[in-house]
Structure 1
């Protein structure tokens, strides 16, 4: 079930965050392209109940609403800062609260940020396998950006090229999912 939202979720654990800003930019662009609304969350939006939660039911009502919005989204833009070669631990904790079927068939654009090129494979070696477990439809193009890929907060032309490619792929997945849902409803 979709709530006609593109949802961005950033694994950053501090604000302000370049990762969240990047996820916001990609989410806004995808929502505009798909003609849908958008909202972006980060780990901070789940609040203090996240730390002790062993299931979604252990979260406070506001945090459960965030998780429900993620699950019901038409598509997701996922991002995490790179921390010691992977995504952040609290980001993984949020994902661990989801049921394996929660993201099945959901279009997902993967993004990550990091301090340099040595972390660039985090999207392929960490994030892509994680969402493959959930049987999500992850776009073939993922986007990794380091600090030098931004000029005055704006993505460089090279990064914008990858973003546009991922957006085109995600738009196709969203359209296909809508058509499939319409056929199933008949």
Structure 2
């Protein structure tokens, strides 16, 4: 199984670290996992301009291909102005409508306002559902105060949610594979 994480931020490290923690926790639960982190700050994903993917640069192609060939996804976004990041929304606009069909699509968000945990449920989840993703019941919101100066998550409640989300990703993926077989 290939579990791919997406850090939908072009600044800072918190979102990338939170997604990385989910990937590593899942890998500890299932050492056979192939994991990869797509940190969007390392790619030049072009803005959607309304034409087919063939008209975009190699980075855009590479990121879309990595996402569409993954078996399951951990999608992370910082919350800005009560919304997911523009770079993540732009990436979603590049994807075909069935991009997440039969794939577990987990949500991880970071932010500085406690109530921003609602963005996952009311904004990100509908997008993932539209793209036919199977969204776990668990999600992870990490407040900026839950990170130490080295960007490590220090809140034990958040770390427990990361563990539960990782377990659920694997369980749902296995159930989907069993249903296919």
> Which residue does the alignment assign to 2:116?
119
Deviations 1:52-106 (A, max 9, x none): 5534222222331221111111110100000100101121011011111111121
2:84 matched to 1:61? no
> Which residue does the alignment assign to 1:160?
159
Task: Select which of 96, 99, 115 maps to 1:99.
Answer: 96
Alpha-carbon distance, 1:172 to partner: 0.6
Count of residues in Structure 1 that have an aligned counterpart in Structure 2: 177
TM-score (normalizing by structure 1): 0.87
| Superposed CA RMSD | 1.7
> Which residue does the alignment assign to 1:87?
84
- 2:41 and 2:164 map into 1 onto residues whose CA distance is 29
Secondary structure of residue in 2 paired with 1:108: strand
- 1:24 and 1:39 map into 2 onto residues whose CA distance is 9
Secondary structure of residue in 1 paired with 2:132: coil
Write out the 4+ residue segments of structure 1 that deviate beyond 4 Å after TM superposition: none
- 1:5 and 1:120 map into 2 onto residues whose CA distance is 27
Instruction: Give yes or no for contact 2:27–2:33 (8 Å, CA) kept in 1.
Output: yes
Q: List alignment gaps of at least 5 residues for structure 1.
A: none
Alignment of 1:1-186 (within 5 A): 4-14=1-11, 16-34=12-30, 35-47=32-44, 50-51=46-47, 53-54=49-50, 55-152=52-149, 153-155=151-153, 156-181=155-180, 183=181
- 1:71 and 1:50 map into 2 onto residues whose CA distance is 17
TM-score (normalizing by structure 2): 0.89
Instruction: Give yes or no for contact 1:53–1:59 (8 Å, CA) kept in 2.
Output: no
